Amino acid sequence: MTFMVGGAPNELAFFEKILASYTVDTGVPVTLIRQSTDSAQRKQGILLSLRGQQTNPDVMLVDVGWIGQIAASGWLEPLEKYDIDKNVFFQSVIELADTYENKLIGLPLYIDGGLLYYRKDLLAENGFSAPPSTWAELRDMSERIVPRQKAQNPNFWGYVWQGAQYEGLTCNSLEFFTSAGGGFFVGTATPVIDQQANVTALQFMRDLLHKQPISPPNTFTDMKEEEVRLFFHNSNALFERNWPYAWGLHNADDSPIKGQVGMAPLPGFKKGQSASTLGGWHIVMSKYSDMKSESASLIKYLTSARVQKQLSLKLGWNPGRSDIYDDAELLKANPALQNLKQVFKNAVPRPVIPYYSSVSQILQKHINATLADRVPAEQALKQAQIEVLELIKDYGIK
């Protein structure tokens, strides 16, 4: 049996040990098919194997953004008949990301989601006892604190986020749009991009850069994950939108902001309407596997509470299972898990559709044009809706 996974050397070494333990427990040998850390190369390798109907890999890790495309091609083995308990996972993730045409086609091994980092020391110094729960509160706090900080640091800004024209902009936009009551799609074939809630959200995003700006002017040209993280890390911002990986880096021993950082769900346009774009890696079985029962056993083993706990303790991964977020040993090692559990409950997946990559490119182009102040929000979203509808027709979907 084979398991295909990519990642950093320490991650691959960890999986080698886990697979060796599985072999000792079951007597079934597993070969690790190593992939690079580059997501595009990992996706290409997986698609080449599946298109060729190869029996290997039997089991693989796929990015949540790829599931729709792979499932629509009929290349994944449904998992219901293998006695897998899906109730121990985040149910919204199972229903919205790992279910395709009412069939369970994957399980979350590692969960990611957008969240808010904030300078708790600066909020406290200025009389704020809690992070913002609405976007209006974030703006108000920024307008009060930033001028004082700029007197000491002219490069200080209120809020840094991913606004460059790439996939991260789609993720940020989905969070803004959803927290305004909007979104990209209803179901899998009905785009709702051109709606007032989305227009309101996009205008707010544009205003962050151009109206009493609280976000830096290079947001729409340069700001990706690491650019955003380093900007905040170097004490140049009050708030940051990023993924959970930044937490450990902000609190490392050599971090200039160690102990000064808080973590919270992203704000919403109204209280209680926070949204977080779902990220992470999901485990799936190839339809062409010639060892399906053994593959199902491996999937259950890798998503077991024991292995998920080890993934968190050894690699810092956020478990796909919701039932171990209250584990005392895990919380002692990573207290942030307590906050992340609530973030992941609000996780919103990108559309699980086979043509998602093309949809994302359309959205990036038009949303970025508004952030650059070249095209009004309403016009940008109207044109994006037209192009997505044309794309759907090209796929032959009515």
pLDDT at 398 over 70: no
**Side-chain-side CA neighbours of residue 216 (13 Å):** 24
Q: Work out the average pLDDT over 173-195.
A: 92
Is 349:99 a contact under the CB 8 Å cutoff? no
C-alpha angle with apex 70: 105 to 59, nearest 5 degrees? 60
Place 7 in a pLDDT band, splitting at 50, 70 and 90.
Answer: confident
For the cut 90, the answer to whether the pLDDT of residue 10 exceeds it is: no
- What's the whole-model pTM score? 0.87
Separation of CA 286 from chain center:
24
Q: Which two three-digit tokens encode residue 164?
A: 């460059």
Return the SS3 of 257: coil
Q: What is the average per-residue pLDDT within 372-382?
A: 98
The token pair at 337 is 């898990």
Give the pLDDT confidence score for residue 338 in this predicted structure. 84
Quote the pLDDT of residue 315.
Answer: 87
Confidence tier at 391 by pLDDT (50, 70, 90): very high
- Residue 150 has a pLDDT of 96
Mean pLDDT score across all residues of the chain: 93
Tell me the C-alpha distance between 386 and 13, whole Å: 47
DSSP string, 318-380: PBSBGGGTT-HHHHHH-TTHHHHHHHHHTEEPPP--TTHHHHHHHHHHHHHHHHTTSS-HHHH
Looking at residue 258, its pLDDT comes to 95
Strand 276-285 to 107-113 pairing: antiparallel
Residue 396: its pLDDT value, please?
67
pLDDT at 40: 81
Please state which of the ranges 6-10, 205-209, 290-294, 328-332 shows the lowest mean pLDDT: 6-10
Backbone angles phi, psi at 329, to 5 degrees: -65, -40
Confidence check: pLDDT of 358 > 80: yes
Mean pLDDT, residues 226-248 taken together: 95
Give the span between the Cα atoms of 299 and 104, in whole angstroms.
13
Q: What is the mean pLDDT of residues 138-163?
A: 97
Q: What is the DSSP letter of 78?
A: -
Q: What is the pLDDT of residues 115-132, one digit of tens each?
A: 999 999 999 999 999 999
* pLDDT per position as a tens digit, 101-112: 899 999 999 999
Q: Is 256 exposed, middle or buried (0-12, 13-18, 19+ CB in 10 A)?
A: exposed
The residue ranking higher by pLDDT, 66 or 299, is: 299
Q: What percent of the chain has pLDDT over 70?
A: 99
CA nearest to 368, candidates 159, 201, 163: 163
Q: Work out the average pLDDT over 191-215.
A: 97
**pLDDT of res. 188:** 65
9 is written with which tokens?
A: 């050397």
Question: Is the separation of the CB atoms in 157 and 289 below 8 Å?
Answer: no
